[in-house]
Structure 1
Amino acid sequence: MIPTLLQATLDLLTEVETAARPADAVTSAFFRGRRDLDDRDRGAVLELLYVLLRHRARLGWWLARQDAQDKPRNRLLAWLALGEGQNPSQIQRLFDGAPFAPSALTAAENALLEALKGHRLRHPDMPEAVALECPAWAVAPLQQRFGAAFGAEMAATLAPPPLDLRINPIKTAREATLRRLQAMGLRAQPTPLSPLGIRLAERLSLARLSGLKTGDIEIQDEGSQLVALLVDAKPGERVVDFCAGAGGKTLAIAAQMKNKGHVVACDVNETRLKRCAERHRRAGLHNVETRLLASETDRWVKRHKGGFDRVLIDAPCSGTGTWRRNPDARWRAPELGLENLVSLQARILASAARLVKPGGRLVYATCSMLPDENEAQITRFLAASAGFRLLPVPKAVPELAGAIPSDHLSLTPARHGTDGFFAAVLQRDALPTPSDQA
C-alpha cells in the first residue's frame, strides 16, 4: 500500500477507536470528507482497517510483550512486520514523512520493528482467547455455548463475510437478478438456505449495484433473512416489528405480505425509524407504518393488546453473532452490562407478547450466540407465560425443515456460513370456541 493510504488508514482507525459510533457509521462519515480517495483507494483503506480490527488482540499482545503502547500507529507497524512479513527497511520507506504520508519512524518505533523482525503473528505463548480474538467478558459464555467447537467458531468470526443480498419479490425475481449480476461479471450464487438470497463472493463498490437504489435488492445477511421467514406473515395480516431499527426485517416481512395488510415498525430511536421509512418508500412498500416508542412498555402497547397476528422482537443484544461483519463490536462490551441487557430483553419480550392475538405468532430473535440471551431467555419466558408454546422451526416454516431440523433457529458462522443468529417461534393458544366450552 502506498504511504498516503497508510496515513488515511491511521486517521480512520483513530476515529473508529475514539468515536462512540460503530465502525461502519464512522467510515461512511470519514469517506464523505475525503473526496480525494477514489473507489479503489477506499477499498484498500477499508480492507486494511478491518484487518487491523480483526487482529487487535494479537497485535496488542505483541506490543505489550515489547513494552510498546497499544495505539493505532504501533498496531499498524506490528501488522506490517508480523502479518505482512515486511522487514524494518521496507517499513521505513513507507514511513518517510512525505506530505500526506506517515511521519518518519522514531527511535522507539525502529527498536520495535527490530524486536518483531522474523516473528509471526501467532506465538506459542499466546493465550487461546487472545489468539482467537475473544474478549474476556465473552470467553466463558461462548465456551459454554460451543464446547469443543469454541476454537473453530471463533476462527470463523475472524474471516471476512461474503456480501449477501435479498431480492425484493415485489419488484423482481431471484433468477432474473442472478442473471443480471452474473452478466456484470460477478460471482453471484443463490444462498443455500434462504429462497430470497443471493451471495456475492467478491468485494465490490456498492455503487455498481443499481438495484440498491431502486429497491430491487437489499443488503441482508442470510441468517437475518431466515428470521424474517419465521414470521411467516401472510397478505392481509397485522404485524409488528417491535425493535425494527433501520428496518431490514420489516422490509422482508412487508414484501412477504405482497404489500397487503398492515406492518407497524416500532423502535425507541427516531433516527433509525426515519431510515426505515426511507427504505420502505424506495422498495415500493406501502403497507408499513413507523411508530416511535418511549420504552418497551409504551402506552401504545397496552392500547393494542391482542391486536396483531404476528409480532417480531429483534431484541437488542450483545451482538456476538455479528463479529465477523463488525470486528470493532467485539471490543465494545454491552453498554448496559450483560446481566442488565438480559433483563431488558426479558422486559421487551414480556411487553411485546401482549400484542399477539389468540392463535397468533411471536418470534423472538437476536444476533447473539450467548445462551443466556437466547435459549435460556425463551425457557424463562415460557415458564412465566401461560398460553404460549414453542413451535419448532420445521413446523413454523416447513420449507426450512431439511436445513434447520431443530426447535430453534441457531445459526453460526462456522456451521452455516452466516452471521450468528438465534430465533424462537412461540405460538399463542387460540381462544376456546363455544363448542370447546360446552
Structure 2
Amino acid sequence: MTPAIRLQATLELMHEIDRVARPADAVVSAWFRSRRHLGDKDRGQICDLLYALLRHHARLGWWLARHGRKDLPRNRLLAWMALDGGKSSGDRISGGRTPDQVRGLFSGGRFAPAVLTDHEHALLVKLQGCTIDHPAMPDEVRFECPTWAVEPLRRRFHDGFGSEMAALLTAAPLDLRVNPVKSTREVMLRALRDLGLKAEASPLAPFGIRVKERPSLASLPMLKSGEVEIQDEGSQLVALLVDARPGERVVDFCAGAGGKTLAIAAQMANKGHVIACDVSDGRLKRAAERFRRAGLHNIETRPLASEADRWVKRHKGSFDRVLVDAPCSGTGTWRRNPDARWRQQEAGLDHLLPLQARILASAARLVKPGGRLVYATCSMLPEENEAQVAAFLAAYPTFHVTPLHEAAPQLTGSAHPDHLSLTPARHDTDGFFAAVLQREAAPSSPQPSSEEP
C-alpha cells in the first residue's frame, strides 16, 4: 500500500469508530478481518496512525475549534499531519508536513483521499509551524482527560497528576502470560527470541513476558497453541492475589473474556473447580474457546441474569476464593484504549458506583468462612476503589483487609500496604486496584467434656 492508500484506510476506520458505539479495538479487529489481503506492515502502520489520532483526540479538537473547523475525522487527520508533534520513526505518516506535502497525499487518485478543498488547504497553512500542544490549552485538553475525571484524578495523584496523565498518552506494551499447564517462561522467551523479537521477563508477574515491539499476532504460534495469552502485567498480578490452590473451589464473578479465569485455573494446575460467571452469555461462550485452547478443563461457565441471580443464593458460602473484577470507568486502561476516555461520561459513575457495591455484596455471599474475596478494578479513581472497600467493610464486619505483605509478599514495594495500586507512570502497567478481603473463619464448635454432666 502507498502512504496515500494507508491514509484513506485510516480515514475509513475513523469514520467507523465515530459511527458505531463499540470500542476502537473491536472495530479495528472486525475491519481487518474483512480485509485479510492487507499485509502485516500495512496493518501496523494503519494502526499506529489511528491510535496516534485517538491519543491526541482532545488536542486536535481544540485546534480545530480554535480555527472554526468542525471536529470531523478528515479534519482531525489534516490537523495531525500539519501540527509538529506527531513525528515518529518508520514510514508512518508523521506531523509537521507542509501544505504541499499533504496535497500530494490527498491526490484523489484510486483508493487515495479526495483532493483538498481550498478551505482545507487554508487550515493547513494556518497550522503550519504550530506544535500539537499550546500554552492556552486547559489541563483537561493538554492531558487528554475528560472534564469529569480531572478532579478525582487530581485527588488521587496530587503532585503526580501530570506525570500520570502523560504516561497514559504513551502506547501500551505487549504483555504476555505464559500458561504453565503447557510451557514455561524460559521456553517461551527462547521461542519469542528465535522469532527475532525483543522479549524479556516481566519484573513482577512470575509468568509474564514483555515484548518490546508490536509484532503481528498472527505470527506468534504460541498464541494459537495456548502456550501464552495476551494479558497486561497488572491484570496478571490481580489474578495472582486470588492465590488459588489445586483442589479448591473458585469463582471469577465478572469473568468477561476470561483472561483472569485462565490465570486462576492455571494456578490450580487443572485441579479443583473454577466457575466463570458473567451477565454476558456471548462473552462467556467466546471465553470457553480460550479455555479449550489453553488445555484447561477445570473451568465451568455460568451466565447470570444479574449480580443477584438465584444461583448466588443457592451457593452461599461454598467457595474458597472469589474474584470480583468489577465493571468500572476503565481509567487505568486509557493508554491501551484511548477512545474509552471519551465514551465514559460523568453520569456513568452514578450508575457504576452503586452497581459495584451491589456486585461486591452479592459475590461476598459465595465466600465460605475463612475464604478470600478479591475486589479489583482497572480504574484509578478512589471512588471506585478505596471508597468501595471501606463502605463494604463497614457493612460486612465479618470481612477484613489482608495486608499485601501477607497476601502477596513478592509484591512488597509495588503497592500500598493494604492493597495493590498500579499505575502506568510508576509500574508501566495498566492502572489496577485490588484489595484482598478475608472472611472470618467459623467459630470452633465447643469440645465435649470428658466428664459426665
Give the distance between the partners of 1:302 and 1:267, measured in 2 at CA: 16
CA contact (8 A) 1:316 1:366 kept: yes
Tell me the distance in 2 between the aligned counterparts of 1:250 and 1:13.
Answer: 33
Distance 2:284 2:274 in 1: 13
> Which stretches in structure 2 are left out of the alignment for 5+ residues?
87-94
Q: Paired residue for 2:147? A: 136
Shift of 1:126: 1.1
Could you list the per-position Cα deviations for residues 233-282 of structure 1 after superposition, in whole angstroms to 9, with x for gaps in the alignment? 00000000000001000000000000000000000001110111110000
Name the structure 2 match of 1:289.
300
In the alignment, which residue of structure 2 is the partner of 1:18? 19
Letter of the 2:154 counterpart: Q
User: Displacement of 1:415 after TM fit?
Assistant: 0.4
> Over aligned residues, Cα RMSD in angstroms?
1.3
Paired residue secondary structure (2:392): helix
Deviations 1:28-75, CA, capped at 9 Å, x for gaps: 111122234211111111110000000000011000000011100000
In the alignment, structure 1 residue 48 sits paired with structure 2 residue 41: no
Measure, in 2, the Cα distance between the counterparts of 1:272 and 1:230: 24
Q: Answer yes or no: is 1:240 the counterpart of 2:251.
A: yes
Query: Deviation digits for residues 327-379 of structure 1, max 9, x if unmatched?
Result: 11011115962122101000000000000000000000000000000000000
Which whole-Å CA distance do the structure 2 matches of 1:396 and 1:381 have between them? 19
Of 275, 292, 299, the residue aligned with 1:264 is 275
Task: Note the 1:185-224 alignment, pairs <5 A.
Answer: 185-224=196-235
Cα gap change, 1:437 to 1:101, in 2 (>3 Å): farther
The answer to whether the aligner puts 1:169 opposite 2:180 as a matched pair is: yes
Q: Which of 252, 276, 282 is matched with 2:263 structurally?
A: 252
Q: How does 1:362-401 map to 2 (within 5 A)?
A: 362-401=373-412
Q: 1:257 to 1:336 in 2, by over 3 A?
A: farther
Change beyond 3 A, Cα 1:344–1:336: farther
Q: For 1:334 and 1:237, how far apart are their aligned partners in 2?
A: 40
Output the TM-score relative to the length of structure 1. Answer: 0.98
Residues 254 and 263, structure 1, Cα contact 8 Å, conserved in 2: yes
TM-score when normalising by structure 2: 0.95
Contact residue 415 and residue 422 of structure 2 kept, 8 A: no
Q: Percent identity?
A: 67
SS of 2:125 mapped into structure 1 = helix
Q: Which residue of 2 aligns with 1:66?
A: 67
- Partner amino acid for 2:80? W
Partner of 2:90: none
Aligned partner of residue 327 in structure 1, secondary structure: coil
The more displaced of 395-404 and 92-101 is 395-404
In the TM superposition, structure 1's runs of 4+ consecutive aligned residues that sit over 6 Å from their partners are none
Alignment correspondent of 1:78: 79
Q: Deviations over 1:284-334 (max 9, x none)?
A: 000000000000000000000000000000000000000000011011115
Name the CA distance, whole Å, in 2 between partners of 1:35 and 1:201: 25
Q: 2:118 aligned with 1:107, yes or no? A: yes
- Cα distance in 2 for partners of 1:107, 1:437 equals 95
Q: Which runs of 5+ in 1 are unaligned?
A: none
Distance 2:56 2:347 in 1: 26
What SS class does the counterpart of residue 348 from structure 1 fall into? Answer: helix
Indicate whether 1:299 and 2:300 are aligned: no
The answer to whether the Cα contact below 8 Å between 1:231 and 1:363 also exists between their aligned partners in 2 is yes
Whether the 8 Å CA contact 2:181–2:269 is kept in 1: the answer is yes
Shift of 1:436: 8.6
2: CA distance, partners of 1:413 / 1:160:
10
Is the 1:394–1:405 contact (alpha carbons within 8 Å) kept by the matching residues of 2?
no
The CA deviation at 1:399 is 2.4
Separation in 2 of the partners of 1:337 and 1:436? 53
Q: Secondary structure at the match of 1:143?
A: helix
Contact 1:334 1:341 in 2 (8 A): no
The equivalent residue for 2:433 is: 422
Indicate if the aligned counterparts of 2:414 and 2:421 stay in contact, CA closer than 8 A. Answer: no
SS of the residue 1:195 aligns to: coil
Measured in 1, the distance between the counterparts of 2:37 and 2:259 equals 32
Note if contact 2:250-2:274 (Cα within 8 Å) is conserved in structure 1: yes
1:346 is matched with 357
Which residue in the other structure is 1:93 paired with? Answer: 104
- The secondary structure found in structure 2 opposite 1:357 is strand
Cα distance in 1, alignment partners of residues 403 and 448 from structure 2: 28
1:136-155 paired onto structure 2 within 5 Å = 136-155=147-166
